[in-house]
Amino acid sequence: MSRLQRRHGLFIMCSVLTSMGPGMVDVMRIKSAFFRLFVVLTPMAVFAGEGPDVIDIGSRRELFVDTFLIESLDGAQQRLHHPVAQNIATVNNAPWEGAGSGYHSVIHDGDVYRMYYRGSALGVAAGKLKIGPQVYCYAESPDGKTWTKPDLGLFMHDGSKQNNIILTGLGCHNFAPFLDSNPACRPDERFKALGGTAKEGGLFAFKSADGIHWSLLQQDPVITVGAFDSQNLAFWDGNIQKYRAYFRTFTKGVTTAKQWTPAGYRAIRTAASADFLAWGDEADLTYEDSPGEHLYTNQVGPYYRAPHILIGFPTRYVERGWSESMRALPELKHREERADAHLRYGTALTEGLLMASRDGVHFDRWNEAFLRPGPQRPDTWNYGHQFIAWHAVETKSDLPGAASEISLYASEGAWTGSSNAMRRYTLRLDGFVSVNAPWKGGELITRTLKFDGRKLAINFATSAAGSVQVEIQHPNGTVVPGFGLNDCRELFGDSVDRTVTWQGGPDVSKLSGNALRLRFVLKDADLYSFQVTE
């Protein structure tokens, strides 16, 4: 196993075992700890033989959103990149929607993009918070950029069925649909979802054949211990051949239907299930070198271009109180009115973070904001701002001839006025984090790995004067003949898929299955990902 996996496994075991009281034998917690260790060690094919451990990446795309494959950096560093603001995608201003609309999920399903979200009015009057009825709504798009809200005719609102409501009643606080990629999924369960609160008894399992008409999989909740007052989600994880769930907890206090006294931090817990009904193997998420912070939504899921990597966009929630800077933020009158109902309604701030995991329990979380509140303007810098929708999706670039990109959607105007909106943001494919080197140059050496394929392709960007070169080494650092730095043709440009070529050509198939290291030498360049393919 690699050093990172060994460290993570030992950390998980020690954190559980040392928390037990003297002389106690807690069978369930030991069982959970061993499950967590098992999950840490099994998703990756890691072969321990003579010499260094060898990580088998096969033909997978590998990103630098974590440190898993990085052995050393010299003159280079990992750099967090930030989404670029684009158009307003949707505005939630229908009579059944409003400033309390939220908890969006976006699914790219063939030729259609599907968006699901809670519709709810929200306002403050006479120092009290007023929340309207909660329903779940649906919008769709042919391109992920412009969205429409179809009249579905399913549920009555104010005497009319001309609306886009897909669900009322149970689960409407935080319904989170997903497209089930389980190969054994039944056609009538092609879409699934979790929804529910502690007051309702926990999280309930829903199914749908078309993503529009929904019903319960069973009458009883499937997960009952947790706080659930957030967007709680699940998906099929091909790494472990089970469903995973991620849901809200608190680090302290009691959060049940009969007693609601949460304390400590808003936190995230995960569980696993073979059938989406019986859930177990629960574990609290842990983080590499990150402080205790309130994490509101979690938005964890497999990155579609590298599904062995789970990427999350949790919302950081910060209560800042009144100050001169707080009063300088937009829409002071609204802020003061919300604070009259409760201080945090007016003075809490939110923003989007980025985190990634190979095992689903331990995450590398960037402590710097991934999606900041941004320039001060109306409908920003408030509680509910920059809640990122669950799932990043691929969309075509607005630049003619440019590669496709990632679209993310984040909230604006929550808790303010009579409506809110979702703004679209874009990022290059795999563009969450790069290994960056300045003009003076720098390099990255990977851990020992083996691959399967004929061509090495990289996702990179350089300046006009910059470059990238790749050397293939034996585990001891000696150069594989014909694949040295001097043999490598210099690469420059900005491409999400460029094949690396040496003097003998691009073919690396004779090296497949061998223990090797890759050395990337960069000059005024960013390296986002690489992949060996046929």
Whichever domain contains 339, its CATH number is 2.115.10.20
Q: Based on the fold, state whether residues 289 and 335 are members of the same structural domain.
A: yes
Residue 502 domain boundaries: 47-79+433-533
Q: Based on the fold, state whether residues 498 and 416 are members of the same structural domain.
A: no
Q: Based on the fold, state whether residues 298 and 165 are members of the same structural domain.
A: yes
Determine the pLDDT at residue 50: 40
Banded model confidence at residue 431, pLDDT cuts 50, 70, 90: very high
Residue at token pair 């003949």: 481
Q: Based on the fold, state whether residues 173 and 310 are members of the same structural domain.
A: yes
Q: Is 106 exposed, middle or buried (0-12, 13-18, 19+ CB in 10 A)?
A: buried
7: pLDDT strictly greater than 50: no
Q: Based on the fold, state whether residues 356 and 339 are members of the same structural domain.
A: yes
Which of helix, strand or coil describes residue 469? Answer: strand
Cα Dmax for the chain: 78
Q: What is the pLDDT of residues 347-361, one digit of tens each?
A: 999 999 999 999 999
> Of 377, 407, 428, which residue sits at a domain end?
428
Q: Based on the fold, state whether residues 4 and 120 are members of the same structural domain.
A: no
Average pLDDT over residues 33-42: 40
Q: Based on the fold, state whether residues 72 and 163 are members of the same structural domain.
A: no
Two tokens at 42? 């099994």
Classify residue 366 by its DSSP letter: -
1: pLDDT strictly greater than 70: no
Strands 286-288 and 362-365 come out as parallel
Determine the pLDDT at residue 52: 53
Q: What is the pLDDT of residues 43-56, one digit of tens each?
A: 444 443 344 589 99
> Of 428, 450, 477, which residue sits at a domain end?
428
Q: Based on the fold, state whether residues 394 and 513 are members of the same structural domain.
A: no
Determine the pLDDT at residue 127: 87
Banded model confidence at residue 416, pLDDT cuts 50, 70, 90: confident
Single-letter code of the amino acid located at 429: L
Q: Based on the fold, state whether residues 61 and 128 are members of the same structural domain.
A: no
Angstrom distance (rounded) from CA 96 to CA 167? 12
Q: Based on the fold, state whether residues 199 and 334 are members of the same structural domain.
A: yes
Q: In whole angstroms, how far apart are CA 279 and each of 221, 223, 328, 350?
A: 11, 7, 47, 31
Determine the pLDDT at residue 34: 40
Q: What is the pLDDT of residues 304-323, one digit of tens each?
A: 999 999 999 999 999 999 99
402: pLDDT strictly greater than 90: yes
Task: Provide the domain count of the chain.
Answer: 3
Q: In whole angstroms, how far apart are CA 77 and each of 342, 420, 436?
A: 43, 38, 5
Q: Based on the fold, state whether residues 355 and 394 are members of the same structural domain.
A: yes
Q: Based on the fold, state whether residues 438 and 380 are members of the same structural domain.
A: no
Average pLDDT over residues 60-71: 98
% pLDDT > 90, the chain: 87
Classify residue 380 by its DSSP letter: -
